[in-house]
Amino acid sequence: MSPTEDLADVERVLAGEVSAFEGIVRRWQGPLINMAYRFCNDRSRAEEMAQEAFLRAYRNLAGWRRDAAFSTWLFALAANLYRSELKRIPAHNVALDDIAELMDKRSHQAEFEAEDRDRIIRRAVLALPEKYRDAVILYYFHEMDVPAASKSLGLPEGTVKARLFRGREMLRSKLPQLLQGPKLKEA
């Protein structure tokens, strides 16, 4: 994904060539849909949210200041939209306490696979309070890159680090079984 391709396509779209936007969609559809999926855990909704993010990007394309990478601008715009969407229609989540209880019950079942456990943990992240949830989601979306996550959130790095720490602390206190790792299956 070269920045020059993005710049060229943006220039063409701004000059009135709407079809040039297709290049941007093709290049960034994967990351935007995956980011949306991390926020909502629902495949069809993730595509709807990503489509809305592309539309918003199209409308605000002139607002991209060239001092930041196009991807940084696009991810920040998308993250902002996804957070608003989740406020408007929350993802179907259970409370963190309920997840902890479910985890506790299931951990005693022999057939409790690591895959199930991972799925429950992902749901637990979505059940975190909004500010911790967003920090955790964007940190992992950006492959554990705090500066990139902070740019997407529009927050200082220190704040993101603090929220990550607090979010993990909450998960640790609610889901202590996580520390046991593979033992879960044996229990």
Partner 1 sequence: MEDELDRIFSRRDEMIPSSGFVASVMEAVQRESTASQPIAFPWLRALPIFAALAAVLVMLGIAIFELVRMPVSYVGHWTIPPAIMRVLSQTSAGWVAIALVIALLSTWIPVRLIAGKR
What residues make contact with partner 1 under the rule CB under 8 A? 18-19, 21-22, 25-26, 29-30, 33-34, 37-38, 43, 46-47, 50-51, 54-55, 58-59, 118, 121-122, 136, 140, 143-144, 168, 171-172, 178-179, 181
In this complex, which beta carbon is closest to partner 1, that of residue 104 or of residue 118?
118
Q: Are 27 and 130 in contact (CB under 8 A)?
A: no
CB of 4 to partner 1, least distance (A): 21
- At 6, list the tokens: 């993005």
Q: Are 92 and 75 in contact (CB under 8 A)?
A: no
CB of 10 to partner 1, least distance (A): 13
- At 147, list the tokens: 């500066």
Angle at 34 between CA 132 and CA 88, to 5 degrees: 55
Angle at 69 between CA 30 and CA 73, to 5 degrees: 65
In this complex, which beta carbon is closest to partner 1, that of residue 73 or of residue 141?
141
In this complex, which beta carbon is closest to partner 1, that of residue 67 or of residue 73?
73
